[in-house]
Amino acid sequence: SYTTDTQSREENKKTVESLHGLSVDVTKIRRLKEWVLLQDVAYVKEIAGILQEMGADKTAVANILERCPEAILHTPAEINSQRALWQLVCQNEKQLIKLVEQFPESFFTIDCHENQKANILFFQELGLKNHIITRFLTSAPSIFYNPVEKTKNVIETLQRNYLNLGGSDANMKIWILKLLSQNPFILLNTSSAIQENLEFLQKTDFTDHEVLQLLSKLKGFIFQLTPTTMRKSMLFSQNVFKCSDQELKELVLKCPALLYYSVPVLEERLEGLLREGVSVAQIRETPMVLELTPQIVQYRIKKLSALGYDIKSGTLESLNGTKKDFEVNYGKIQSKKERPIFNPVAPINIED
């Protein structure tokens, strides 16, 4: 643990000089992480040497140390161990140094080395491809810090529930791997929390098949919720749409966001749509529109209105989907509007 008390300490001149020698912007470090410059021991030249050995040029080394100056506080032995660890899933050093350049913070967080290694080996055994594991290392490094027993426990809970809900042995591995690659943060949950959430859905009269459907649609995010938040969200939707329990269930299966988003989020999105002149009946017909933020809704309605498309009298389907889906829909409406009416007897203009 490094001290962050900057009051009575002076910068380590040797560290500052070494960083200057590598063309590192020290003022940037002073502004963001000055405490690094105050430590008595730093391994500037050694860490830069390892990075160069891995294939980083001078500019890359300077960028890495500016973005993650705490790298110089680790010993060369620690960094070499981390290098060996990441090499378990990287094709070669070229790929490794590219990842370090993009995600220095993830690479230089070297806590729980043994846990990291055990988890990597377990993921490989499970059948996760190396490129997925590298994605986890860079974007979800915290999942590697838990003891591998906890990771195994969560996976076993998911497998057991998948089979109990009627999933087949043959598909289980594919289902687990897909769930993990969509949302690795599932592994930060406890087995009991996972169990509790699934039991809540079953008690709310979702059939086993429907619970499985929700799990896949929500990409595992359901495990980051609690029965209390899910109950509140469902009650809010039921009041807004004035529907029976069965109708509510159908709406949730159509749009799992009704289960996933908290009441304040749903409220804000609903109000945003109503402000644009959309009716509750239209939203009930196309609840997926609640997956969009009010800003996105506003932008899309504006674009469609410019084409003369009236959202109040039309369907909300054209608002839906990802950015790409919307652009495709928008393009279709636009070309329909711009397509000239063909007149077979009109003279043809031929320009030389």
d(CA 84, CA 82): 5
* H/E run at residue 78: helix 76-87
Measured between alpha carbons, how far is 271 from 278 in angstroms, rounded to an integer? 10
Whether 180 maps to a domain, the answer reads no
| 351, burial (CB in 10 Å: exposed 0-12, middle 13-18, buried 19+) | exposed
Low-confidence ranges of the chain (pLDDT < 50): 1, 6-8, 348, 350-352
State the sign of the Cα–Cα–Cα–Cα dihedral 190, 215, 224, 142.
positive
Domain presence at residue 265 = no
Distance CA 251, CA 8 (A): 61
* Longest alpha-carbon distance in the chain: 91
For residue 30, tell me if it sits in a domain.
Answer: yes
Give the residue numbers spanning the domain of 62: 11-109
pLDDT at 102: 94
Number of domains in the chain: 1
Instruction: Judge whether 293 lies within some domain.
Output: no
In a domain, 322, yes or no: no
**Encoded amino acid at 60, one letter:** A
The pLDDT score that the predictor gives to residue 120 is 96
| The overall pTM is greater than 0.75 | yes
Q: Which amino acid is at 43?
A: Y
110 is written with which tokens? 């070297």
Asked if residue 316 is part of any domain, the answer here is no
H helix intervals, the chain: 13-21, 26-33, 44-53, 58-67, 76-87, 93-102, 104-107, 113-126, 130-139, 148-164, 169-182, 191-203, 208-217, 227-241, 245-254, 257-260, 263-275, 280-285, 294-306, 323-338
Cα angle vertex 143, ends 138, 149, to 5°? 145
* Angular region, 56: left φ>0, alpha ψ -120 to 50, beta rest: beta
Determine the Cα–Cα distance for residues 177 and 174; give it in Å rounded to an integer.
5
Q: How far apart are CA 70 and CA 32, in angstroms?
A: 11
3-class state of residue 41 by DSSP: coil
Classify residue 288: in a domain, yes or no.
no
Residue 340 confidence (pLDDT): 53
Phi and psi angles of residue 345, each rounded to the nearest 5 degrees, phi first: -105, 5
Contact indicator for 86, 99 with CB cutoff of 8 Å? yes
In terms of Cα–Cα distance, which of 163, 229, 167, 155 is closest to 194?
Answer: 155
H or E element, residue 162: helix 148-164
* Calpha distance 144→120 (Å, rounded): 8
The set of residues, in sequence order, having a beta carbon less than 8 Å from that of 183 and lying 6+ positions away, is 219, 220, 221
CA–CA dist 26, 283 (Å, integer):
54
Domain membership flag for residue 253:
no
CB-neighbour burial class of residue 169 (10 A; exposed 0-12, middle 13-18, buried 19+): exposed
Phi and psi for 33 in degrees, rounded to 5? -145, 60
Distance CA 152, CA 297 (A): 41
